[in-house]
Amino acid sequence: MLLHRLVLIVLVAQLSATTGRAEEAYYCSHCKRLAMQWLAAEAPGDKAPNRKYAPDRHVDVLHLKLDVTPDFANRSVSGTATMQFQPIAEPLRQLKLNAVGLEIESVESKHAIQTHQVTEDFLEITFAAAIPADEKSEVTIRYKVSPEEGLYFRTAEMGYQQGDTQLWTQGEPETHRHWFPSHDYPNEKFTTEMICHVPEGMVALSNGRLLSETKDEKTGLVAFHWLQDKVHVNYLISLVAGYFEKIEDQHGKIPIALYVPPSEKEQAANSFIDTKKILQFFDREIGVAYPWDKYYNVCAIDYMMGGMENTSLTTLTSRTLFTAAQENLRSSRSLDAHEAAHQWFGDLVTCKDWSHLWLNEGFATYYSLLYEQELLGNDFFKSGLYGKAQGIFSNSKDTIPMVYRDYNSPMDQFSFRAYPKGAWVLHMLRSQLGPDLFRKCVQTYLERHRFETVVTQDLIEVFEELSGRSLDQFFDQWVYLSGYPELKIDYKWNELTRQAKLSVRQVQMTNAKRPWFSFPLPIRFTVGEVQREVQIEITKEKEDFYMTLDQAPTLLRIDPEVTVLAKVNFNPSKEMLAVQLADASDVIGRLLAVKALAGKKDQVAIDALRKVLNEDAFHAVRSAAADGLAKLRTPESLEALMASLTQPDARVRQAVVRGLTRFHSDEAYAALRRVAGHETNPDIRSGALKALGKYVKPELRKYLLSQLRVSSYRHAIAGSAISAMQSQDDPYYVEPLLRELKQSEAAFTSGGFSSALRTLGLLARNESNKEPVRLFLLKQLDHLKKSVARSAMSALGELHDSKAIPVLETFAAADRESAEGKAAQSAIDKIRKEQRPRVPEEVNTLRSQVSDLQNQLKGMSEEMKVLRAQFKEAVESLKPAPKKSDQEKTGQAKPEKG
């Protein structure tokens, strides 16, 4: 390993000095980048690599046709998969397809099949004779499946509303193998076809365009036939079927629509308001027209993610829907834009493997921000970038680069590195190149690789070609290595020389995977009425920079336009803070000034924050002022918050209420009670109601119980009342809560009911008679909503009732690696932990003292060993040296005895 690393170091050194023709420069750049990745991956102390790569493509998949009939009552699927393919490069004797849990009924082909076998992960089809390379072939596979993953049912039998029955699929990253056989990895693209047979009155949606909708008079089922005639990867295949309400529009000749469960039809328009405008903007900004036959969004109940960009048919969580009463606290805009952007970045051009996932998610995240800039202005754009940067900074100890192969599961890659950091990498490129050149590069990248899979190098080549820049260092430090720069900046003004001195230190954690960064850092001085822009180059750990100005600046701003992903620690003077806070053109400057004021517990700071809270033009700055007043936690700051409750912007009003929850006083309690009783926005009301739980007031028992019966969207008010009951930790609520859960499960969302079960278990843990709660929770273990069943297991753990252990053990033993098995075992462990006898404090003290004595004796033993060795050495040094024999004196050897 050491030799390997030395060779790589020499390689980097040699390549760094290489100059020559264009071809040599390209290969030098490419090899150096690879060498830098290897060095970063082989940092001292790393574990042996567990790198993941795309699988070999032994065949070129040409077309996949799925003909499926779902059985909603039994939550199963009967299907036929027909795959057209041709071997690549070599004759093919065996075709291996990803398939998990499928009951294969038959396999047919025009090429004779010797046999087929089903393993744990594959369907292996062995042909009687090898199929020649490039010869087209086809297999037809009939199968049945009750899928555990990949395809999900939502039916009345499971506890969902009768009229909302639906099924939907989720293929990313690699879960379609659980409901149809396929090449389930994103390094292969092919066309697809979907035929789905459903009861009359239902609709079935899939990728591409609808070819036909035909009723079978014998079965009464209606077949929806969809064709996706432009290639895409396997995980983008989608099937959604069930009862839906539809609203629709047109984007040019492209039909667009939103499908929602019938129970949510009143909310549909709120989440469809931006879709057309988003597509119009992306067509202009990207420079490549929307590439598919339609663009539909469909809302899935209890969807495990926010959204999924299936080609031409995006799946959205139904949680994105909201009522008008929630005002601007809820919006589908960002999610809508993110998933729409994927139709270009992720669908038209797709990452070849999961190590390059940021090429999908980073672009989608960034273009969502660009749409907000277009729609709402530059302040929203900067605020969005700032917020995403704070999320990245919260992972300060992360040492994993964006392009990374040592992940355990593909889902590990769906992290802040792919999303906000990926967006920030693109933003820094756009900031350095300018919007026009950046747009040209992105357009060329898409046009050059449309309907292909890509890696990061493909993007780099386009940007280097069109910009003329060497981007080796940029991508090495931001993409192939990890982290971000953290800067400590000090400022001094020298009146004699009329120079401003900036001392810049990089203080982030560094190692082989996180070296010092090199990047341009914009600086803005305000001198009188004039702003002077300066750009300094950060290249070292510590550097001083001197700028000559006409007079001392009244304001100094670091990266005022938010163009560098760097955490900056700079403390401007009190005078500069005042100027910064008053600068109407600098939203992030004002935001930073507010945060600085929040650390000063004086009346001047409180007055300034109160003024900002009620007067600043931007909601995020006003909200930050509310957070700042709450952080101060003084009677004066509480009074300022209570006096500022009347806010026209719900986001600021929510921030004020959130601030009140950080106090504990009669005044704060009274204010929260007023909000809980009179606020019209259910989200704000819920926040106030939940916060009441930390108060011990005799009237709260009756009040919280009354809130259980309040009708609200998704039963949110009742859910908040239950959260307050949990905070109260009062067994008084056990009986009425148990009764409510028995009677009104249908009113709760799955998440709300699950949370209530855990609260019930917690509240009843000290009851002398736990049987009614235990029996109710045990009944939920067989709930067809797996999330509810797992929550019931967790609730039994909270209940601390050993009589639940035998039943929990049956679930744990059935499959210890499943989510249910782990939840059951966790509950068992929690119950048994509470059963262990408590050790008296005196015994613990005695154990501690004995341990201390043992450590002291061990130390004394080591000291004795050293003393013995020293004594022995001293004794040996005092012994007289032995006399030499005559033979030793003359150098003659003594003869051996015969």
Average pLDDT over residues 684-696: 98
Checking if the pLDDT of 1 tops 50, the result is no
At residue 7, the pLDDT reads 34
Mean per-residue pLDDT over the chain, rounded: 91
| Contact present, 454 and 446 (Cβ < 8 Å) | no
Rounded distance, CA 517 to CA 567, Å?
12
Torsion of CA 324, 328, 332, 335, to 10 degrees: -170
At residue 842, the pLDDT reads 65
Kindly report whether the peptide bond that precedes residue 648 is cis, defined as omega within 30 degrees of 0: no
pLDDT band at 56 (very low <50, low <70, confident <90, very high): very high
- The string of pLDDT tens digits covering residues 873-897 is 766 766 665 554 444 443 443 333 3
48-62, 424-438, 565-579, 712-726: which range is least confident on average? 48-62
Average pLDDT over residues 180-208: 98
At residue 875, the pLDDT reads 65
pTM for the model stands at 0.88
At residue 622, the pLDDT reads 98
| Contact present, 372 and 333 (Cβ < 8 Å) | yes
At residue 5, the pLDDT reads 36
Rounded distance, CA 677 to CA 505, Å?
52
- Compute the half-sphere exposure of residue 635: CA atoms within 13 Å on the CB side of its CA: 2
At residue 48, the pLDDT reads 43
Beta strand extents in 383-485 (DSSP E only): 452-454
At residue 29, the pLDDT reads 37
At residue 51, the pLDDT reads 93
Q: Which residue has the tokens 């929550």?
A: 791
569-578, 587-596, 846-855: which range is least confident on average? 846-855
- Pair of tokens at residue 104: 């294969």
Three-state DSSP class for residue 541? coil
Rounded distance, CA 340 to CA 782, Å?
38
Residues 6+ apart with CB under 8 A from 66: 79, 80, 81, 180, 192, 193, 194, 195, 237, 239
Average pLDDT over residues 101-125: 97
Rounded distance, CA 454 to CA 614, Å?
50
13-27, 48-62, 162-176, 436-450: which range is least confident on average? 13-27
At residue 854, the pLDDT reads 74
Q: Percentage of the chain with pLDDT > 90? A: 86
- The string of pLDDT tens digits covering residues 360-373 is 999 999 999 999 99
Checking if the pLDDT of 531 tops 70, the result is yes
- The string of pLDDT tens digits covering residues 332-346 is 999 999 999 999 999
pLDDT band at 2 (very low <50, low <70, confident <90, very high): very low
492-496, 693-697, 878-882: which range is least confident on average? 878-882
At residue 193, the pLDDT reads 98
Q: Which residue has the tokens 């601007």?
A: 328
Checking if the pLDDT of 33 tops 80, the result is no
Average pLDDT over residues 206-212: 98
Rounded distance, CA 532 to CA 316, Å?
47
233-237, 251-255, 665-669, 830-834: which range is least confident on average? 830-834
- The string of pLDDT tens digits covering residues 128-164 is 999 999 999 999 999 999 999 999 999 999 999 999 9
Checking if the pLDDT of 14 tops 70, the result is no
Average pLDDT over residues 505-523: 91
Nearest to 640 by CA among 658, 659, 621: 659
Q: Percentage of the chain with pLDDT > 70? A: 90
pLDDT band at 324 (very low <50, low <70, confident <90, very high): very high
Q: Assign 3-class secondary structure to 505-531.
A: EECCCCECCECCCCEEEEEEEEECCEE
At residue 248, the pLDDT reads 98
Residues 6+ apart with CB under 8 A from 793: 781, 808, 811, 820, 823, 824, 826, 827
Q: How far is residue 50 from each of residues 3, 46, 355, 594, measured CA to CA in Å?
A: 21, 11, 12, 46
Checking if the pLDDT of 32 tops 90, the result is no
- Which amino acid, residue 169? T
Average pLDDT over residues 383-411: 96
